[in-house]
């Protein structure tokens, strides 16, 4: 949206096949939305001031605005808090629309770099969040340098990697799964 | 003796191991045997596998759940994302047997199976239902001595309630964490933004300034309505925001006060006599006044 302008949605951009794609990726009740706005009223993204928050995202998804949704990074700012799922009177499960959108975006590599970083850490170490300096922090808290997770058990971590290799990660990961 | 599988996740063992120390201390004092979930991985966090594929998410979660099943224990976690992701994946597999079937095909290739017998707890509900407030009260050495607590239950500990094995009577008016603090001798009033999001997580990654501004609004309400001694969270991500995020706001000169922050397991561990240095090893906001007040109770 240009500064000071009015954000007009161009309905000719709508793509029905995108709606069907999202339904197949988990947003199976998307068409039931009546745009009551309850999700938007409780959404942290809206309170934080993101231009696209859950109500607008569900609306745009229903209109099949593929390019708008894949280009805007708001979808990746969703907290996954599920207030919208709790409060939706039509059982749209709005957060699952976000997940479906992210699944569609990742197939065309339209996602933030830190998404890949998290996936790479998950595959390599078994932990998506893997900050440097943890050994010292653990020692300060009187704990062994490594926690008793996949990080400490090479054989189990390899098995976990075998699990991930059988998922769609094998197709979409922009890093080697070896 | 009650046994529980301690699911560590990522933020607790790597960013806030003082929470791990505190949880271990607290569970031991409560007479709960910790069963290590060797080989457990990330829950997986919402920005990773859940955002990639439903079956892939369920398979990654089922890897963790199956470890607990093999050991014959339920799971407990101090991180809201872990609680949410594991429970939601479990819910999807229960609701859609075909997903569970696909997951077991995947797990079967590494000699594992997900049956669906394990329950995933967070510390709030575990203390409230499994330990019980009277029992908890009997195990503390120092009561909280009127410590005024502003509680933050955490989004994922509340919603989506359909996926959770147990929950608050009213998820938009949570009382359990308040009752736990009060059972230990604290004061934990309701405040108007009690269910507002702290802004940690994806929002913090995608729009850091907006996330911190959202958090500041919540902090200002807490300061104005309660002026508490401490904020007490039920989620390690919330703790990171209330502690390190708040310190960042102070550093940026966007905040002119500091409210100490603790996870509920840290509060309970300190009240039970834990080594304070270890129990608060990663705290950014000084806790001296809080510790003095707790140690003054009996």
Q: What is the pLDDT of residue B247?
A: 98
Contact of B54 with chain A, judged by CB distance below 8 Å, is answered with: yes
* Selected residue with higher pLDDT from A124 and A11: A124
Distance CA A95, CA B52 (A): 14
The percent of residues in chain A predicted with pLDDT above 70, rounded, is 96
Predicted interface score ipTM higher than 0.90? yes
Contact of A44 with chain B, judged by CB distance below 8 Å, is answered with: yes
pLDDT tens per residue, range B189-246: 999 999 999 999 899 988 999 999 999 999 999 999 999 999 999 999 999 999 999 9
B-contacting residues in A 8-27 (Cβ below 8 Å): 25-26
What angle (nearest 5°) sits at the alpha carbon of residue B260, between those of residues B256 and B263? 145
Distance CA A47, CA A55 (A): 12
Closest Cα in chain A, distance from residue B271 (Å)? 17
**Pick from B39, B45, B205: CB nearest A156:** B39
Distance CA B78, CA B69 (A): 19
Q: Single out the residue of B34, B117, B106, B112 nearest to residue B77, CA to CA.
A: B34
**pLDDT level of residue A5 (50, 70, 90 thresholds):** low
Question: With an 8 Å Cβ cutoff, are A118 and B48 in contact?
Answer: yes
Distance CA B2, CA A36 (A): 47
Average pLDDT over every residue of A57-66: 95
Which residues does chain B have with pLDDT short of 50? none
Q: Single out the residue of B89, B55, B52 nearest to residue A103, CA to CA.
A: B52
Distance CA B280, CA B16 (A): 9
Eight-state DSSP code of residue B185 = T
- pTM (predicted TM-score): 0.96
Question: With an 8 Å Cβ cutoff, are B203 and A77 in contact?
Answer: yes
Judged against a pLDDT cut of 80, whether residue A131 lies above it is answered with yes
Contact of B141 with chain A, judged by CB distance below 8 Å, is answered with: no
CB contacts, 8 Å: A83 with chain B: 155, 159
Cis peptide leading into B241, omega within 30 of 0? no
| 3-class DSSP state of B45 | coil
Nearest CA in chain B to A154: B39
Distance CA B170, CA B173 (A): 5
């Amino acid at each position: 949206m240009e500064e000071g302008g009015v954000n007009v949605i161009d309905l000719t951009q709508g793509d029905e096949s995108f709606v069907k794609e999202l339904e197949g990726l988990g947003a199976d009740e998307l068409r039931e939305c009546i745009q009551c706005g309850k999700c938007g009223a409780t959404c942290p993204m809206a309170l934080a001031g993101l231009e696209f928050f859950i109500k607008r995202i569900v609306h745009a998804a229903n209109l099949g605005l593929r390019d708008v949704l894949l280009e805007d990074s708001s979808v990746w700012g969703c907290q996954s808090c599920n207030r919208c799922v709790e409060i939706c009177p039509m059982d749209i499960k709005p957060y699952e629309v976000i997940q479906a959108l992210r699944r569609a975006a990742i197939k065309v590599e339209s996602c933030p770099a830190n998404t890949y970083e998290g996936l790479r850490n998950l595959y390599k170490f078994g932990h998506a969040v893997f900050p440097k300096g943890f050994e010292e922090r653990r020692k300060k808290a009187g704990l062994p340098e490594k926690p008793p997770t996949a990080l400490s058990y090479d054989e189990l971590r390899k098995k976990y990697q075998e699990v991930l290799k059988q998922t769609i990660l094998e197709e979409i990961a922009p890093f080697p799964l070896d | 003796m009650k046994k529980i599988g301690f699911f560590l996740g990522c933020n607790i063992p790597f960013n806030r191991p003082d929470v791990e120390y505190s949880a271990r201390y607290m569970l031991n004092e409560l007479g709960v045997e910790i069963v290590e979930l060797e080989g457990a991985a990330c829950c997986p966090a919402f920005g990773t596998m859940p955002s990639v594929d439903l079956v892939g998410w369920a398979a990654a979660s089922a890897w963790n759940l199956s470890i607990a099943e093999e050991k014959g224990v339920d799971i407990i976690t101090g991180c809201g994302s872990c609680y949410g992701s594991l429970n939601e994946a479990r819910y999807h597999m229960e609701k859609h047997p075909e997903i569970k079937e696909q997951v077991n095909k995947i797990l079967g290739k590494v000699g594992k199976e997900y049956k669906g017998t394990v329950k995933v707890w967070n510390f709030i509900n575990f203390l409230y239902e499994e330990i019980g407030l009277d029992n908890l009260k009997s195990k503390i050495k120092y009561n909280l001595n009127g410590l005024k607590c502003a509680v933050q239950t955490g989004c994922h500990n509340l919603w989506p309630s359909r996926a959770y094995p147990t929950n608050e009577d009213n998820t938009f008016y949570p009382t359990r964490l308040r009752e736990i603090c009060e059972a230990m001798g604290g004061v934990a009033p309701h405040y108007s933004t009690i269910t507002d999001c702290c802004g940690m997580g994806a929002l913090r990654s995608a729009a850091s300034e907006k996330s911190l501004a959202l958090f500041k609004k919540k902090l200002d309400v807490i300061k104005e309505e309660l002026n508490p001694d401490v904020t007490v969270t039920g989620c390690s991500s919330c703790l990171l925001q209330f502690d390190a995020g708040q310190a960042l706001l102070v550093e940026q000169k966007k905040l002119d006060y500091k409210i100490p922050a603790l996870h509920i397991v840290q509060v309970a561990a300190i009240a039970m006599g834990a080594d304070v240095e270890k129990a608060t090893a990663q705290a950014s906001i000084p806790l001296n006044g809080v510790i003095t007040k707790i140690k003054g109770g009996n």
